């Protein structure tokens, strides 16, 4: 990671999800950035959804198959994290269609049609 790196919407990254509780994803894992770089830079947080290689067929999973990462985005596991202290590292960029599916799932999850 370059010191000047600021995560931006659509970035696929590695970061540390610890500490966690209950059914939350934990450990160093891949994630997709949902918040815009302007917010991330100014606030020091980023909104993410974790990515897992273990597809379980849950309704909020979004398939992702990019050059350097594949699996499913857990779009119902939205988190806001301090990216500056979580050892964030850029991996790749997600397609626009993946971002759109995640956004649709989040709107459905929070009851906005």
Cα distance between residue 19 and residue 12, in whole Å: 20
Q: Which CATH number fits domain 11-109: 1.10.1370.30, 3.40.50.720, 2.30.30.110, 1.10.10.10?
A: 2.30.30.110
Domain residue ranges of the chain, discontinuous segments joined by +: 11-109
Cα distance between residue 109 and residue 6, in whole Å: 28
Q: Is a pLDDT exceeding 90 seen at residue 22?
A: no
Mean pLDDT of 71-86: 94
Q: What residues have CB less than 8 Å from 74, skipping those under 6 apart?
A: 25, 49, 50, 51, 52, 58, 60, 61
Q: What residues have CB less than 8 Å from 17, skipping those under 6 apart?
A: 24, 25, 26, 27, 28, 29, 31, 50, 79, 81, 86
pLDDT of residue 25: 66
pLDDT of residue 104: 97
Beta strand 11-16 pairing with 89-93 = antiparallel
Query: Model pTM greater than 0.75?
Result: yes
Render pLDDT for 31-76 as a digit per residue (tens, 0 to 9).
Answer: 999 999 999 999 999 999 999 999 999 999 999 998 899 999 999 9
pLDDT of residue 24: 52
């Amino acid at each position: 990671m370059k010191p000047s790196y600021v995560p931006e919407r659509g970035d696929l990254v590695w970061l540390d999800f610890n500490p966690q509780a209950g059914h939350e994803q934990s450990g160093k894992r891949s994630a997709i950035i949902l918040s815009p770089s302007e917010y991330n830079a100014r606030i020091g947080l980023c909104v993410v959804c974790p990515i897992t290689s273990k597809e379980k067929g849950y309704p909020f999973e979004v398939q992702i198959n990019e050059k350097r990462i594949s699996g499913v985005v857990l779009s119902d596991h939205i988190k806001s994290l301090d990216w500056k202290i979580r050892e964030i590292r850029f991996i790749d960029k997600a397609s626009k269609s993946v971002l759109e599916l995640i956004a649709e799932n989040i709107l459905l999850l929070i009851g906005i049609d």
